[in-house]
Amino acid sequence: MIQQRTTSESKRLTQKIGFSLLGMVAALTVLPIIAVVSYMIQQGAPAITGEFITGFPSDGMRSGGILPAILGTLYLTLGTAVFSVPLGIGAAIYLAEYAPENRWTRAIRIAITNLAGIPSVVYGLFGLGIFVLFLKLGTSILAASLTLSIMTLPVIISTSEEALRAVPNSFRVVSTSLGATRWQTIKRIILPQSLPGILTGIILGLERAAGETAPILFTGAAFFLPRLPGSPMDATMALPYHLFVISTQVPGMPIKIQYGTALVLLFFVLIMNIIASVIRSRARAKRMW
């Protein structure tokens, strides 16, 4: 009895030590993130003014605002969504609900997984070759959005497919037994149930697209434009590329402008993240299974 108690007590102690160690490790990994963010806020916050958000760059980008870059990133993100969301969801529905399990679909799936791992600069070169030169779209918002879409698609497809597959199969069986066609089952049951997962995937994908420089470098990003883009065929400034430019290409750049720009980009991505988690927690509360 006594022997037993001491073992169980010492087990509990080991467990406690283990948990505290794990907690410390977790804290350690969060620390650098907090450090980076607070450093950026400290350095960049003084730059954030109404004029910085709504004004055009002036004095060789050394002062003024970054509105063209903010709007450019917004356009590119929306443009990417226009192409990658319908295609991505469509492909995921096909893979999860219609495609037979065979060598061909396995190959498609492997290809998608591998596409997600390709360095973004390779997508940039691909976009340059296909969209800018071959399809003669020029360096434009359209070409850059298409390039970003191709980069984003694998993320959207695989997260959406996973979300669709997470819906219990019994719903499909029941719905079919009640006379629903496959498409009715998808539309009325499967999609609504997997929507939170799909939206999360979309936002994660678009978030990455919003923050990338390499894919838009050769396909649509402009060093400096004195006016806002007037159509999807125009090139545009964009936050990540602008950040790259003012950090490396412009001598005598005030440091707070760089960090201010980084802060705005961070904020942009953060907002998307918050939207994603709100959607997720709302859906979890409403879930009926």
Partner 1 sequence: MNIIEVEHFSLSYSDGTEGLRDITMGIPANQITVMLGPAGGGKSTLMRAINRLNDLADVISMNGRITVDGLDVNDPKTNLVELRRKVGMVFARPVPLPLSIRQNITYGLEVAGVTDKTILAEVVEKTLRDAVLWDEVYDRLNDPGVALSGGQQQRLCIARTLALDPKVILLDEPTSGLDPISTAKIEDSLQMLKQRYTIVLAPHSVQQASRTADFAAFFLQGELIETADGKDLFTRPKDKRTQDYVEGRFG
H or E, element range at 127: helix 120-127
d(CA 200, CA 197): 5
- 33 vs 285, beta carbon nearer partner 1: 285
Least separation in angstroms between residue 166's CB and partner 1 is 13
Least separation in angstroms between residue 30's CB and partner 1 is 36
Select from 131, 148, 125 the least CA-distant residue to 79: 148
d(CA 197, CA 204): 11
Q: Is 1 among the residues that bind partner 1 (CB under 8 A)? A: no
DSSP state of 102: S
Least separation in angstroms between residue 176's CB and partner 1 is 6
The set of long-range contacts for 243-247, using a CB threshold of 8 Å and a minimum separation of 24, is 243/213, 244/213, 245/61, 246/61
Q: Is 184 among the residues that bind partner 1 (CB under 8 A)? A: yes
DSSP state of 202: H
Q: Is 139 among the residues that bind partner 1 (CB under 8 A)? A: no
d(CA 47, CA 262): 11
| Six token digits for residue 135 | 């399809």
- 33 vs 288, beta carbon nearer partner 1: 288
Q: Is 287 among the residues that bind partner 1 (CB under 8 A)? A: yes
- 122 vs 173, beta carbon nearer partner 1: 173
Q: Is 177 among the residues that bind partner 1 (CB under 8 A)? A: yes
Site for partner 1 in 4-33 (CB under 8 A): none
Q: Hey, how many other C-beta atoms are within 10 angstroms of the C-beta on 116?
A: 16
Give the residue, chosen from 55, 138, 192, 232, that forms a contact with partner 1 under the rule CB under 8 A: 192
Give the residue, chosen from 160, 193, 258, 261, that forms a contact with partner 1 under the rule CB under 8 A: 193
- 191 vs 257, beta carbon nearer partner 1: 191
Cα R_g (the chain), whole angstroms: 24
CB of 66 closer than 8 Å to CB of 135: no
Residue 64 burial (10 A CB sphere; 0-12, 13-18, 19+): middle
Q: Is 105 among the residues that bind partner 1 (CB under 8 A)? A: no
Q: Is 102 among the residues that bind partner 1 (CB under 8 A)? A: no
Q: Is 171 among the residues that bind partner 1 (CB under 8 A)? A: yes
Q: Is 173 among the residues that bind partner 1 (CB under 8 A)? A: yes
Site for partner 1 in 141-170 (CB under 8 A): 168, 170
- 54 vs 181, beta carbon nearer partner 1: 181
Least separation in angstroms between residue 187's CB and partner 1 is 10
Give the residue, chosen from 158, 160, 175, 258, that forms a contact with partner 1 under the rule CB under 8 A: 175
d(CA 56, CA 62): 11
Binding site for partner 1 (CB under 8 A): 168, 170-181, 184, 188-189, 192-193, 287-289
